[in-house]
Amino acid sequence: MDLMHHIPVLLEATRRTLADVLGATGAWLLDGTLGAAGHSSVLLGDFPGLRVWGTDQDDQMLAVAQEALASFGDRAVTTRARISELGELFAAGDVPFEGAPAAMLFDVGVASPHLDQPERGFSFQADAPLDMRMDLRREVTAADIVNTWPADDLADLLFTEGDERRSRQVAAAIVEARRRSPIQRTGLLADLVEGVVGGGRIHGATRTFQALRREVNREDAELRAALELGERQLAPGGLLAVIGFHPGENRVVKRWAREAESRGAFERVHKKPIVADAAERRENPRARSAELRVLRRLDGGAASPSEGGVR
């Protein structure tokens, strides 16, 4: 399997928007969801003075990224970390470059290689252990949730994180099935859910799998940590770019951006989120639900960054 196979989403729009700060002398970018380094390698290529600190929670993706970034030498430094761990690294001064980052990029969610590897348990299209952890240091897997959560909690999760309208029926079917034997495989869960909600244009288990993945990886909490990190650590004038793929995710960013604007910490660079054009949507199905939001940190923000500003 080709782990490098990941097409960066909204690459041109990200490049164009961040160009404002990434070309400045001494600028560095924190790419907090490095993945296959698709965005970062293009940015390093386009801005000869730029340096990138690329972090990811997944060892396997980091290995892929290191290969992709090797030709940039010490302009690219990689670290294994969850977004929610980055605040501590900044506080401890455990940061590879001087001063505050000119930009931060968070392209949240799974990478295509995650979905392409059945053994990681993200996909309902292949039978595999029901895992879904992007960070294998996490203890709770999707199987743990499916086999131990009370029916009501399961139903709430499927409704809020997966937009599954038949969440109560799906949860009831899960509880009924697990009484007979634990649900340990993606195939079994996918068939069970499809039996309740039926098929259609998208697989019936899509929403359930999305909800489980978001819970296993605590994706909303991680996203909030990303936004807060931007407020604490970005240079004044620096840009915080977030690409979300899920309405829930996009809502979190939108609300936070509104509040951050009203307390004078950030301003929106574009009034509306940037979405993929028809050509990109055709070429990359992942791009269809992607929304890019970019915020500029203002001097009047709540916290002051460690050093310097960019404009």
Ligand X SMILES: C[S@@+](CC[C@H](N)C(=O)[O-])C[C@H]1O[C@@H](n2cnc3c(N)ncnc32)[C@H](O)[C@@H]1O
CA gap 188, 185 in Å, rounded: 5
How is residue 202 written in tokens?
């998208």
Do 104 and 30 meet the contact criterion of CB atoms below 8 Å apart? yes
Least gap, CB of 305 to ligand X (angstroms): 21
276 touches ligand X (CB under 6 A): no
Does an H or E element contain 297, and which? strand 291-297
Nearest to 186 by CA among 117, 112, 121: 121
8 touches ligand X (CB under 6 A): yes
107 touches ligand X (CB under 6 A): yes
> Cα-Cα-Cα-Cα dihedral of 257, 18, 35, 130, to 10°?
20
Distances (CA, A) of 242 to 14, 186, 231: 9, 30, 13
| Residues 119 to 148 in contact with ligand X, rule: CB under 6 A | 134
Least gap, CB of 72 to ligand X (angstroms): 15
Among 54, 109, 238, 273, binds ligand X (CB under 6 A): 109
108 touches ligand X (CB under 6 A): yes
Q: Are strands 76-80 and 51-56 parallel, antiparallel or unpaired?
A: parallel
Pick between residue 6 and residue 207 the one whose CB is nearest to ligand X.
6
Least gap, CB of 247 to ligand X (angstroms): 17
Among 22, 30, 76, 83, binds ligand X (CB under 6 A): 83
CA gap 35, 132 in Å, rounded: 16
Least gap, CB of 133 to ligand X (angstroms): 10
246 touches ligand X (CB under 6 A): no
Least gap, CB of 310 to ligand X (angstroms): 22
Give the residues across from 78 on adjacent strands. 54
Beta strands in 142-214 (DSSP E): none
| Residues 52 to 81 in contact with ligand X, rule: CB under 6 A | 56-58, 61
234 touches ligand X (CB under 6 A): no
Q: x/- string (CB under 6 A) for ligand X, residues 17-56?
A: ----------------x-xxxxx----------------x
Q: Are strands 239-244 and 291-297 parallel, antiparallel or unpaired?
A: antiparallel
Distance of CA 308 to the CA centre of its chain: 28
Do 298 and 266 meet the contact criterion of CB atoms below 8 Å apart? yes
Least gap, CB of 243 to ligand X (angstroms): 8
Instruction: Please give the size of the binding site for ligand X, defined by CB under 6 A.
Output: 20
- Give the residues lining the site for ligand X (CB under 6 A): 6, 8, 33, 35-39, 56-58, 61, 82-83, 107-109, 111, 134, 222
